[in-house]
Amino acid sequence: MVKPINKIIDLRSDTVTTPTEQMRVAISNAIVGDDVFGEDPTVYRLERTAADLFGKEAALFVASGTMANQIAVMTMCSRGDQIIVHDQSHIYNLEVGGLASTCGVQPRSIPAPDGQFDLSRLGREIFHADIQRSPTTLICLENTFDLNRGLVISPKNIREVAIVARSHSIKTFLDGARIFNAAVALGCSVADFCEEVDAIATCLSKGLACPVGSLLMGTVGFVAEARRMRQRLGGGWRQAGILAAAGIVALEEMVQRLAEDHYNARLLAEGLIQLGFDVDLRQVQSNIVHVGLNSIGMGADIFCAHLLELGIKTKVIAQQEIRMVTHKDVSSADIKTTLDAVRMCLDKKIE
Ligand SMILES: *Cc1c(COP(=O)(O)O)cnc(C)c1O
């Protein structure tokens, strides 16, 4: 008999998190104004709080991580410029070709399996303008790295890349969609990652549980131009304080608890290893568990479909690979329930 499902446990992504009660109260009480006129006090407060937290002069509240990334590149590069990206990065793979179509830049992708560029190779990949070459003007970094693994990149590595960039007079941008996870994992502040980079983006709508929103930080001049680029993309929003109110709660209340998600990811990973799955514990560094099914001998589609029947949602990333992401709506008890369900799916294979 199929057990009735009491609750869906959604491990596909931390973007599925719903706003907290405190966010809902903040949203309903938010004082708002027209943000395109620069008159929304709640947006202003969020941007000020974020700039201080990241140790940058200014911040811009935008609709999504994708928009933040695109605006950053539009602001820092000219059409035809080359930019260096990780071959597995979000900005290169998952933004609908925006680098080419919206920004008009030429991405030069470099492999970096653990998320860290080889510094000597990086130097060789930087082009200087001549009659035939377009100059490299930007290096893009990502932390946590690889949305299917969540690897934590150290402030030291980021600093080293930024120093190489500066020695060639080019800029650096850090896509820190999950930078708060990286900071909590290392016990440092998000500003520690940003000292040398020119601009950084982060998402409020992932582990921090906001309904909508991302932030882009940099100098006053950068943010002023980024604000114009946001407008160009149709991203000027009016009483956005309704959304910013949740963002302030996220920055003030939701960061430290990410440690629980990391603990639960570890718990899940250890349980899966015991059940015979291919999980590299060294790579379980934040809230994402990359699970290989090779040793289980079941395809990802079938395995995920079985799990779904038991109320567990996971994300297929390849024929024999899935991803599980922990977040505030998944408790340690849910991890236990998930492992029980996984065990039942394995039994199904034997039947
Ligand atoms: C999620 C994510 C983005 C995009 O954020 P959206 O808000 O979904 O557009 C960009 N970069 C990385 C690394 C991400 O994980």
Instruction: For residue range 147-203, list pLDDT tens digits in order.
Output: 999 999 999 999 999 999 999 999 999 999 999 999 999 999 999 999 999 999 999
Does the pLDDT value for residue 112 go beyond 80?
yes
- pLDDT at 34 exceeding the cut of 80: yes
* Average pLDDT rounded to a whole number, residues 212-237: 98
Instruction: Tell me the mean pLDDT in the region 241-246.
Output: 98
E strand spans, the chain: 9-10, 58-62, 82-86, 106-110, 136-142, 171-175, 199-203, 214-218, 288-292, 312-313, 315-318, 321-325
The pLDDT value given to residue 4: 56
Q: Distance between CA atoms of 172 and 190, rounded to whole angstroms?
A: 16
- Ligand 1 center–CA 178 separation, angstroms: 8
Neighbours of 129 (CB within 10 A): 12
For ligand 1, say whether the CB of 200 is within 6 Å of any of its atoms.
no
Whether residue 95 has its Cβ less than 6 Å from ligand 1: no
Average pLDDT over residues 43-64: 98
**Does the beta carbon of 175 lie inside 6 Å of ligand 1?**
yes
Please give the pLDDT value at position 263. 98
State in Å: Cα 283 to ligand 1 middle: 20
pLDDT at position 7: 87
- In this prediction, residue 277 carries a pLDDT of 97
241 contacts: CB under 8 Å, gap ≥ 6: 30, 31, 32, 33, 35, 40, 41, 42, 43
| Ligand 1 pocket mutation pick from 62, 69, 88, 90 by most atoms within 8 angstroms of CB | 90
Whether this model's pTM surpasses 0.85: yes
The pLDDT value recorded for residue 6 is 72
Give the per-residue pLDDT at 350: 60
**17, 66, 92, 144: which to mutate for ligand 1, most atoms within 8 A of CB?**
66
pLDDT computed for residue 65 by the predictor: 98
